[in-house]
Amino acid sequence: MREYNFDGLVGPTHNFAGLSPGNLASQSHGGEPSHPREAALQGLEKMRFVAGLGVGQAVLPPQPRPSLRTLRALGFTGSDEEVITRAARESEHLLRLTSSASAMWTANAATIAPSSDTADGRLHLTPANLSQMFHRAIEADTTHSVLRAIFSDARHFAVHPPLPPGSHFADEGAANHTRLSTPGHAAVHLLAWGRGAWHDVAGPKRFPARQTLEASQALARLHQLDMRQVLFPQQHPDGIDAGAFHTDVLAVGNGAFLMLHELAFVDHPGLLQMLREKLGPDFRAIVATTAELPVQDAVRAYPFNSQVLTLPEGRMAIVAPVESRETPAARRFLERVVAEDSPVTAVHYLDVRQSMNNGGGPACLRQRISLTDAERGAITADVFYTPALHDSLAAWVRRNYREVLRPRDLQDPQLARETMTALDELTRILKLGSVYDFQQ
């Protein structure tokens, strides 16, 4: 089994629209000009760095934006250009909602269970319905098509449809999922959530909780996990109210290691006790208290939204955003993780500021998928990272992406045309086939 980090390529309409209440970075950068080309190149540099550590790396494509399909479904008619002009005239906000490049945060694309953990021995994938936020909910259908195209071999892969839409089964994908494992013990899946659809639990007061307990339970069933190996911890309501809209803002785990803030989960001591019982003495957790790392610093600097990567020789490295190096409490915490008795032996700080300014750190930008050699061999799309793929993607970005996007540029019908041209080219580079509606 080898883990591949499937990073989302940042789309050509990357912009700051202030669309996510409860996501403080999105709220505070809304309305600023964005730099799509720089954003996409920062993402590619991260992939190059992770691949350079000897870790499996792959890519997932962006989605067509503005979403003409959504605008047409809402009654705008005519040519593509007319649809955009009419929608802009009706509501600039609707155009913002349908233009986000938010599919770049592929941690939210799906939840995945590796074949080692499922009853039928296949890798299970469920695209997230992202029901809680309209601009993200419109990702689900295309994500489903893309995953079906890449994981097409039904002998190895089960690609489920997204959970039913609506608020009851609101699902945010792997941003709330952590798989932990120790030698000699079955892996444990943490499927976290922030609110109950019909389970009566106290939730946050200020900001929305996105994922429901009922959605997490459905994922465990669909993926045929052994229920003795699944825990459903609740995200701490105070953490959500401080800006931790997803679990991965305050916790990250890999293999035998979990690092978390004390406001990540309700009753974290109880959770860690259960994990010790299930995973044995090799399990190692490091908790940051509020005194050590104020939750505001954790939310601003995203030390937990790091990638914790197992290196080929078995040690672990953390890939953190540069904001964590610049924030003393966050940096001291990560340095403690390395200094203490933990499997982590290095921290690397990378610049993904364009994504960070919308609330997406290194961990948001990737979906972890562990594949056996046979499963890897069953994937024919050209999505696995190589230096040659890097070069062709970087050239593709330079050819197709604008340097700057200002809020009013979203009204330019030419932007949609440019995006379609770029994505059409990309599906050929990645050998994906026709996955987008405009290609049908």
Q: Count residues binding ligand SUG (CB under 6 A).
A: 23
Catalytic residue among 29, 124, 364, 375: 364
Q: Both tokens of residue 225?
A: 């996990």
**Amino acid making up residue 157:** F
Answer yes or no whether residue 20 interacts with ligand SUG by CB under 6 A. yes
How many other C-beta atoms can be found within 10 angstroms of the C-beta atom of residue 104?
A: 26
The single residue among 11, 12, 18, 237 that binds ligand SUG, judged by CB under 6 A, is: 18
The single residue among 42, 57, 102, 324 that binds ligand SUG, judged by CB under 6 A, is: 102
43 touches 356 (CB < 8 A): no
Binding mask 22-61 for ligand SUG (x = CB under 6 A): -x--x---x-------------------------------
How many other C-beta atoms can be found within 10 angstroms of the C-beta atom of residue 186?
A: 13
The single residue among 38, 214, 248, 323 that binds ligand SUG, judged by CB under 6 A, is: 248
Binding mask 273-312 for ligand SUG (x = CB under 6 A): ----------------------------------------
Strands of the sheet containing 284-288, edge to edge, are: 251-254, 257-261, 284-288
Answer yes or no whether residue 105 interacts with ligand SUG by CB under 6 A. yes
Q: Is 292 a residue of the active site?
A: no
Answer yes or no whether residue 246 interacts with ligand SUG by CB under 6 A. yes
**Nearest distance, CB of residue 217 and ligand SUG, angstroms:** 20
**Nearest distance, CB of residue 69 and ligand SUG, angstroms:** 19
**Amino acid making up residue 17:** A
Q: Both tokens of residue 90?
A: 């009706």
Q: Is 246 a residue of the active site?
A: yes
Residue 422: partners with Cβ closer than 8 Å, 6 or more residues away: 12, 396, 399, 400, 401
* Cα atoms found within 13 Å of the Cα of residue 359, Cβ hemisphere only: 29
Any idea what DSSP says for residue 406? Answer: -
The single residue among 10, 50, 107, 190 that binds ligand SUG, judged by CB under 6 A, is: 107
**Burial label, 118 (beta-carbon count in 10 A; 0-12, 13-18, 19+):** middle
Residue of 168, 179, 161 lying closest to 215 (CA atoms):
168
- 89 or 93, CB closer to ligand SUG? 93
d(CA 355, CA 38): 10
User: Interface with ligand SUG by CB under 6 A: which range of 43-51, 60-68, 213-221, 244-252?
Assistant: 244-252
The single residue among 364, 369, 381, 422 that binds ligand SUG, judged by CB under 6 A, is: 364
- 343 or 361, CB closer to ligand SUG? 361
C-alpha separations of 436 from 193, 253, 423, 431 in Å:
31, 34, 9, 13
Catalytic residue among 172, 262, 323, 375: 172
d(CA 435, CA 150): 10
User: Interface with ligand SUG by CB under 6 A: which range of 43-51, 105-113, 287-295, 338-346?
Assistant: 105-113
Catalytic residue among 35, 236, 246, 268: 246
Q: Is 172 a residue of the active site?
A: yes
Q: What is the CA radius of gyration of the chain?
A: 20
C-alpha separations of 265 from 150, 190, 281, 356 in Å:
34, 11, 22, 23
Answer yes or no whether residue 16 interacts with ligand SUG by CB under 6 A. yes
Answer yes or no whether residue 106 interacts with ligand SUG by CB under 6 A. no
Q: Which residues bind ligand SUG (CB under 6 A)?
A: 16-20, 23, 26, 30, 100, 102, 105, 107-108, 133, 136, 175, 246, 248-249, 358-360, 364
As annotated, the active-site residues are: 172, 246, 364
